[in-house]
Structure 1
Amino acid sequence: MCGLCGLIEPDAPTESDLRHAVGRMNDTLVHRGPDDQGLWLDPAAGVALGHRRLSILDLSPLGHQPMVSHCGRYVLAFNGEIYNYLALRRDLGETLPWRGHSDTEVLLAWISRRGVAATLPQLNGMFAFALWDRQERRLTLARDRLGEKPLYYGWNRGRFLFGSELKALTAHPHWQGTLDRDALAAYLRLSYVPAPHSIYQGIRKLEPGTSAALDQGQQTPVIRAYWTAREAVERGLAAPFDGSRAQALDALESLLSDAVGLRMQADVPLGAFLSGGIDSTAVVALMQAQSAKPVRTFSIGFHETGFDEAPYARQVAAHLGTDHTELYVTAQHGIETIVDLPRLWDEPFGDSSQIPTLLVSRMARRDVTVCLSGDGGDELFGGYSRYLWTRETWRRIGWVPLGLRRALAGAVTAIAPGTWDRLLRPLGRLLPGPLAIANPGDRLHKAIDVLTGDSPEALYLRMVSHWNDPAALVIGAQEPASVLTDPARRPRTGSITESMMFMDSCLYLPDDILVKVDRASMGVGLEARVPLLDHRVYEFAWSLPLRWKVRGRLGKLPLRHIVERHVPRALMDRPKMGFGVPIEHWLRGPLRDWAEALLARDRLLADGILRPDPIRAKWEEHLAGRRNWSYYLWDLLMFQAWLDAAGAAPSASRRP
């Protein structure tokens, strides 16, 4: 696991200028690769590559990067792991003059022998790489199928820059960044900036499963997809699994065991994140089944009621016999961590579970260099409770004319949440589900607003949105389209549940979950591997009928059944909790002064980016305890904190 960066300077810079620029870019990625660094320059072509190395396989200098191919034609800066590299090496035979046993050398050899286009579909791994073809004078950037590893690129002041993180691009001595207000609008809806956008105009994220080729003298890279989630879904639906449910479970467990085993390859200490939920338990159980000694496991707990999964993780660890470590998170941990968030994430990122993810990564790094994670199970096997909620809600209200639903919503929201609180609280436990809470009026307002969609997909968009009209909040912005808003980007699944699963695997998974895991783990020099996102598992999951994955209120049935082969059902028989933090309470308490400074009206007016009135209204309602706007406010706070950390970088865009 590593970090990479580089540039193409068309105007023939001196070698010293080129080295200085790429050296500055490379230095920003030391957290991703503390073990080694390397630069490679071709001054005549105006090309420079930089690399920071976290040594996982072949710890010797023979794994040093950027690496030149045996034939001398290609130079590679590579971030990630190719898990099937031993099989790929055997396919090439032992006739090559192998220098070491790294996956980087195998990848280069395959590209030299077969070419980039033929090599990419053969790779099983998480990766992003930059390849310079000295013969054709062509730069190729590529990213893994599901987007586990990041890669940014784009022209800036006449230079083509690229890197694993935005901070590498902004470190170029002549960088000048302009805030992308449209991307900011998308961020305020989703709490993350979706690919291919970035927070800076002209800088893009390479999308999962694609490559970008830029020939010298060209301005626009040629983007090609070698794998798409949509095609994988359509293939799975068109050719469903031909066998019984029991056979499917056996096949899935065998596939998952192989995926886990491949990701246990390392020349350094290895462990796993364990929440005690279905996904992480499945991964740890399959790890322990293949390990001759107790697997190191790590979990996070909270003192606040409703957030603490640590006791469940502890019970699972005890049953499986792992070597378990846990940390309880306090508000003080949150305060101490917040200062690191803008620096590590580089662009606004509003998923507050970034805090415990960073803390558990930091804890694990004291003992191991690689950790396996259980991410991806919800998207593949229908695990999110919002899938059930959306499906059941649309079944019950979809037949009601849209005009009538909107009129009802208007009538409900015309009554203030405080009034609803006074009316509903006395009913106490007699109220169903979401109304049996401390602030029922707040929940009622939010729920009734969601019901005004004109289709189940529109209902889901409202369900996952934070700010429903973010373009009205960001001065001069127009929100870009996404798979959530453009039906043409979605396959015909015939099921709203499968449609939601697909949308999440294209957007929420790569741009929120995997970004969170990558930045948190790499921020402390820890490699995180995700077995459930082996592309073979993804493709197999979509060949299974939905009824085998979701039944009634239960999702992830195949994973549940596999876990029950290793862990008693009683340990898993509990509601899904997620990995949240008590931001609602922290903002009214220990984080209040910090938040007030970032959301001050004078500051917002001076920035000229966001309209202060709706922001101040939500902040004051939240402080008064009338509404819970913590998700909305955290998005804004992370943007404001990023703006401070970015300094002068986006200043050119502060006026509309």
Structure 2
Amino acid sequence: MCGIYGTTIPYSEEQVKQKLEITAFRGPDQMGWEVYPNHKGNITFGHNRLSIIDLDPRSNQPMTFSHNVHIVFNGEIYNFKTLRQDLEKKGYSFTTTSDTEVICAAYLEYGEDCAKHLNGMFAFVIYDANKNILYGAKDRLGQKPFYYYLNGNQFEFASQISSIKLFNNNLSISKKSIQEYLTWNSIPSPNSIFNEIKKLEDGHWFTYNLINSDFKTHQYWDIDYLNNTIYKGSYKDATAELEELLTDAVKIRLVADVPVGVFLSGGVDSSLIAALATKNNNEKVKTFSVKFNEKSFDESLYAQQVADHLKTDHHVIQCDYKEGIGLIENFCDFYDEPFADSSAIPSMLLAKHTKQKVTVALSGDGGDESFLGYHRYEWVKSNKNVYKFPIFFRKIVGEMIHHVPYKNNRLKTLSQYLKLSNIEEAYVKSMTTPDVSWLKDAYDTSGLKEMKYLFHTQKNIYERVSDFDLKTYLTWDINTKVDRASMAYSLETRSPLLDYRVVELAESLPTNFKFETNNQKRILKEVLYSHVPKEVFNRPKSGFGVPLNIWFQNELKDYVLSELSYENLKKIPCINPDEVFKLVQQHMKGTWNHYAVIWKILVLRQWLSKNATGLSIQ
């Protein structure tokens, strides 16, 4: 895992160096760049390397393969050994043991379809000197970031926005993206916080013609949201197939020339990954969890129980609130765009301390989306029948609740939900901002292209909300959080449950294999319980967060009141400063818990303070 950079813009050598240095934390082991002459001008490729496979300098990047193929690559190709064997049979030879060369050979053999042959997390760009094109691709589920700037014959790309922003005087802040952020807690692809910088979407490749500046993208993979593939076997068959797939997914992610560990929260997903890693490892597996002083946030005891059963080399990281607060006060230094998932804080703490022991960590991300594990899927089950009542009746009830003299958060939200047309609209509202009274301009989500995964009739409502989460929450939020949090400390994170083969199998399974009454992630648990006793998991599902609601009223109170003073609130676009000021005061008095809104605006305020000087908002 690394940081990549490239440009057709004639920056000086010193400027290119500074663009790489600004994200050196992504790859501290080696920094390099190359300039390739082209009849239209030079092409510069740069790379910050975090050495994982083939630690020899021969695998440093930018890399040239077969004279005319040049590459910069971020990520890991887990099937590179078998793919390499196939390519060797076709006549290709290799001078390293890295996966980077394999991508180049696959490109020469399969052309633009080479991404289909890769099982991994990746973002890479190839300069094909023979064809005068740049070809790049991003992994199926968007685990690795890829930003680009395109202005005619000026093309620039990087793993993080900061590299593109440096020395670029043609940028403006996007008002639409701020509205999207305030709605979704992150900025949906393909947009970024800047109008002129875009994200390459998940499961897409692109070509950029260096002769005529033609830029094209193509989607090479998607989830089966129209239900074209239906699993035909029994539940027992599916359980055996899933365990075999997951075993292989874990096994190929343990391949590294550096120490590997496992994040272990004590929940179903991470415990399953730890169990399978233990099964595939001759040595004691190192596992890592976070401990919080606030009992309602602390799951370290459950992680310890699993670790004891699996006999792992377990490490408990004590979350010192001063360390957590330090990260909060400098949050936007780690995230190039406004990003409001507060679980990024414990994720960074976990990565920071895990890095002291290992360079690679396996995680349980992806299990909830594919196997229907979130609490909100139970919420859908409990509330979907409400929307069978006529909307005029629900609106009357909603108005009655709205005019109740004393309302708590739950009643206020219920009155809004009852007025919606269907359960699909209610689900979108639950995933965004239920109370929009503090927004100056409400953002209309109906035009979002990802709505096609939710608003159709080819699957039941549970499968559709799961698909919607895979295409939105997972890729916009979870993967962004994990990449930035881990790479901030030069730690590579690998997610076996995001192996596309596992996702495709989960997509094909009947709903009751995954979700029964009071039994979410049913089939994942079936696999897990053959390795860890069921009794260990007889408890409610917990999230992964920090006690911001408490910190905002105590340790961080002065900081919040200073940053979100009325004068400062008036400078923040797209919000109603009077309403937000009321929310902050209510939270400080303890009458309402508004920590989520406060955190969201605090992050935006912090980002604007450090990045908006001299830039217009359009």
Report the TM-score when normalising by structure 2: 0.95
Aligned to 1:464: 431
> Could you list the runs of 5+ residues in structure 1 that have no partner in the other structure?
421-440
How far 1:243 sits from its partner (Å)?
1.7
Instruction: Give, in whole Å, the separation in 1 of the partners of 2:462 and 2:239.
Output: 21
Aligned to 1:450: 417
Two-structure CA RMSD over aligned residues (Å): 2.0
Instruction: Return closer, same or farther for 1:608/1:449 CA change in 2, 3 Å cut-off.
Output: closer
Aligned to 1:594: 559
Instruction: Return closer, same or farther for 1:271/1:608 CA change in 2, 3 Å cut-off.
Output: closer
Instruction: Give, in whole Å, the separation in 2 of the partners of 1:101 and 1:300.
Output: 35
Q: Secondary structure at the match of 1:326?
A: strand
1:239 to 217, 223, 229: 229
CA contact (8 A) 2:453 2:464 kept: no
Q: Identity of paired residues, percent? A: 35
Aligned to 1:132: 127
Q: Secondary structure at the match of 1:207?
A: coil
Aligned to 2:497: 532
How far 1:644 sits from its partner (Å)?
1.8
How far 1:219 sits from its partner (Å)?
4.8
2:506 paired with 1:506:
no
2:402 paired with 1:413:
yes
Q: Deviations over 1:560-619 (max 9, x none)?
A: 011100011110111100112211111111111211222222123245553312211211
CA contact (8 A) 2:438 2:579 kept: no
Aligned AA (2:241): A
Q: Secondary structure at the match of 2:516?
A: coil
Instruction: Give, in whole Å, the separation in 1 of the partners of 2:372 and 2:378.
Output: 9
Q: Secondary structure at the match of 1:93?
A: helix
CA contact (8 A) 2:343 2:545 kept: yes
Aligned to 2:616: 652
Instruction: Return closer, same or farther for 1:240/1:488 CA change in 2, 3 Å cut-off.
Output: closer
2:570 paired with 1:605:
yes
Q: Secondary structure at the match of 2:399?
A: helix
How far 1:415 sits from its partner (Å)?
3.1
Aligned AA (1:82): I
Instruction: Return closer, same or farther for 1:483/1:387 CA change in 2, 3 Å cut-off.
Output: farther
Aligned to 1:113: 109
Aligned to 1:431: none
2:547 paired with 1:551:
no
CA contact (8 A) 1:483 1:503 kept: no
CA contact (8 A) 1:169 1:175 kept: no
2:59 to 50, 58, 63: 63
Aligned AA (1:453): L
CA contact (8 A) 1:41 1:48 kept: yes
How far 1:157 sits from its partner (Å)?
9.5
2:15 paired with 1:21:
yes
Instruction: Give, in whole Å, the separation in 2 of the partners of 1:521 and 1:529.
Output: 10
Aligned to 1:298: 288
How far 1:414 sits from its partner (Å)?
2.5
Aligned AA (1:310): S
CA contact (8 A) 1:184 1:474 kept: no
How far 1:400 sits from its partner (Å)?
2.2
Instruction: Return closer, same or farther for 1:159/1:24 CA change in 2, 3 Å cut-off.
Output: farther
CA contact (8 A) 2:5 2:163 kept: yes
Q: How does 1:73-222 map to 2 (within 5 A)?
A: 73-93=68-88, 95-115=91-111, 117-155=112-150, 159-171=154-166, 173-219=167-213, 221-222=215-216
Aligned to 1:481: 447
Aligned AA (2:255): Q
Of 129-138 and 342-351, the range deviating more from structure 2: 129-138
How far 1:213 sits from its partner (Å)?
1.1
Instruction: Give, in whole Å, the separation in 2 of the partners of 1:474 and 1:646.
Output: 23
> Could you list the runs of 5+ residues in structure 2 that have no partner in the other structure?
none
Instruction: Give, in whole Å, the separation in 1 of the partners of 2:251 and 2:233.
Output: 25
Aligned AA (2:310): L
Q: Deviations over 1:367-412 (max 9, x none)?
A: 00000000000100000110111222122x1122222222322322
Aligned AA (2:415): I
Instruction: Give, in whole Å, the separation in 2 of the partners of 1:141 and 1:516.
Output: 23
How far 1:143 sits from its partner (Å)?
0.1
Instruction: Give, in whole Å, the separation in 1 of the partners of 2:391 and 2:322.
Output: 47
2:22 paired with 1:32:
no
Q: Deviations over 1:222-244 (max 9, x none)?
A: 01011012xx343xx33322221
1:47 to 37, 43, 50: 43
Report the TM-score when normalising by structure 1: 0.90
Instruction: Give, in whole Å, the separation in 2 of the partners of 1:480 and 1:174.
Output: 33
CA contact (8 A) 1:192 1:350 kept: yes
Q: Secondary structure at the match of 2:126?
A: strand
Instruction: Give, in whole Å, the separation in 1 of the partners of 2:314 and 2:453.
Output: 47
Aligned to 1:434: none
CA contact (8 A) 1:467 1:632 kept: no
Instruction: Give, in whole Å, the separation in 2 of the partners of 1:377 and 1:625.
Output: 35
Aligned to 1:401: 390
CA contact (8 A) 2:584 2:598 kept: yes
Instruction: Return closer, same or farther for 1:626/1:268 CA change in 2, 3 Å cut-off.
Output: same
Aligned to 1:384: 374
How far 1:652 sits from its partner (Å)?
1.5
Q: Deviations over 1:489-541 (max 9, x none)?
A: 75544311111000000000011011100000011000000000101001011
Q: Deviations over 1:313-368 (max 9, x none)?
A: 01000000010111232432321111342011100000000000000011100000
Aligned AA (1:563): L
